[in-house]
Structures are given as C-alpha cells and as structure tokens.
Amino acid sequence: MAQPERYEALSRGLADGVRSHEDLVGLVLLGSASDDARLRRDEWSDHDFFAMTAEGRGARLRPDLSWLPDQDRIVLTAREGEIGFVAVYDDGHVFEFAMSDAAELAGAVAAEATVVVDDAAGTAATLVRSAQARARAADGFDPQNDARLVLVKLLIGVGRVRRGERLNGGAFIRQWAVNHLVRAIRGRAPGESTALRDVNDPVRRFEREHPVWGERIAAAVARPEEEAAREVYALLLRLQPGWDEFPTRAAQAVARRLGWD
C-alpha cells in the first residue's frame, strides 16, 4: 500500500539492514518487489523476499527481526511456518518473507527475482537460478486431472455443508474446487496465458487473462455454499464440449449423489 517513494525507501532499508547484519548474507526481492516486475506494482503491492542467513544460522537468528527497516512503524510481526514471516507497518504495508539459509530454501520456486545482496560465493544468485528452474519445470497443467479434482472437492464440500460443517465445506467449494477449475481452464487454453500469470499461484491475476471466466467464477462463489457448488459444477461442464477426456461419467455420478440431476 506504499507510495512509490515509500516503496523504494523500504527496499533500500531492507538492503541496508541485511548488509549491516553479520549473519545475513543475501537479499532476494521477489514478484512485484523485483526489478523485472516493478511496472506491475500498484497501491496493494507488498514486499516479498528471501532474507538469507549464513549456513546453519537460521534457527538462531529468526527470533530477532530488528534488522527490518523503520522499526518504530511496525505494528505487528507473525510467523508463518518454520521459516516464514510477515510484518505489517502502520500505513498497512506488508512484508512477507522467508528467513533461512540456502539449504532450508532448497525447494523454493520463484519467477521474477532480483538479487540485491549476495555473498562472495554468489549463494543468493545460485539459489535464484535453481528456484526459477524449478518454477519452469513445474509450470504446467493437467486439465483432465484438475477437472476430476473439481468434482472430488465439490462432492466432499457439499457433503460437509449438509452435515453442518459450513466453514470447512465452504472452503472445499470456494477454495479447493475453484483452484482446480482455474487450473483446468488454464490447461485447456494455454495460449491465452501471458507474462502476468503467477507460476506459484494459478488464481493470481486470472481475471486479467480470462475476464469472462473470472467474472463467472467470482459470481458463483459469492452465493451460499451449495448454490456456489452447483454454479462451479455448471462452469466445469462448460469445458466438456469437444473434450473427449472430460470425466463425464464421474460428473454424472457426482450430480446423482448430490441430487443435482
């Protein structure tokens, strides 16, 4: 939510904080925080980054976030898993980051990334190359499998809603089923994807590449749980014409089980 000048000042403050810490050896700005994606920033862009520690120092360093810039303006920090953190400033700007050594980030994936601070061995640059290679290797869809999983999530979700578990069932419908529907759509129309697509999250910026689908899905999930499920199911069926591998028998079985036929 920072203005451009504030955003750049925070980026510089991060770099200064890492450089001044003897046990921090690298800083990698990710996504819209990177140089490659800077034109994509808007008022809601946050800072995503890797703060890389010296080998084996992550566990000891993670309790101390005093190297973050503008300490007096931080209103909260929180942990997300073992190596993940979030910090929020008084103007609503958000940092989301991992603080760890290269070994702990061995499975990371990344698209746009800018190495701001690195050690003499190029540890951060090596990590980025590996993370981007993993992202490219994993950047694919299996629409047939995703269509099947839409049906599974809808079946489980509606069952839980009918059992009275609206929160959990609603998550299956609005989150998991929708995620697989988006993946199926992307997989069926790979030529419509652009550089806007987030390789880590297929739902990010989906509406900008598939505005009609995006509007229909958004309208569907705005409905009460079971109505939302039926709408998502109907949207899935829009993929069926001309697709021989569509799981037709499974779709019919789910509809029968839920009394939708």
Q: Are residues 129 and 91 in the same domain?
A: yes
Question: Between 141 and 231, where is the model more confident?
Answer: 231
Q: Is the pLDDT of residue 223 over 60?
A: yes
User: Would you state the pLDDT for residue 197?
Assistant: 65
C-alpha–C-alpha distance, residues 178 and 157, integer Å = 12
**By residue range, what is the domain housing residue 231?**
143-258
Q: Are residues 211 and 93 in the same domain?
A: no
Q: Is the pLDDT of residue 151 over 80?
A: yes
Mean pLDDT of 236-261: 95
Q: Give the percent of the chain with pLDDT over 90.
A: 76
- CATH number of the CATH domain containing 41: 3.30.460.10
Q: Is 79 helix (H, G, I), strand (E, B) or coil?
A: strand
CA separation (Å) from 99 to 27, 64, 83, 137?
A: 10, 11, 6, 25
Q: Are residues 104 and 217 in the same domain?
A: no
Choice among 29-43, 168-182, 212-226, 231-245 with the minimum mean pLDDT: 29-43
Mean pLDDT of 227-256: 97
Pairing, β 47-53 against β 94-100? parallel
Q: Are residues 12 and 29 in the same domain?
A: yes
Structure tokens at 192: 């419509």
Structural domains of the chain, count: 2
Q: Are 127 and 102 in contact (CB under 8 A)?
A: yes
- Confidence tier at 177 by pLDDT (50, 70, 90): very high
C-alpha–C-alpha distance, residues 14 and 154, integer Å = 43
Mean pLDDT of 137-144: 81
Q: Are residues 119 and 148 in the same domain?
A: no
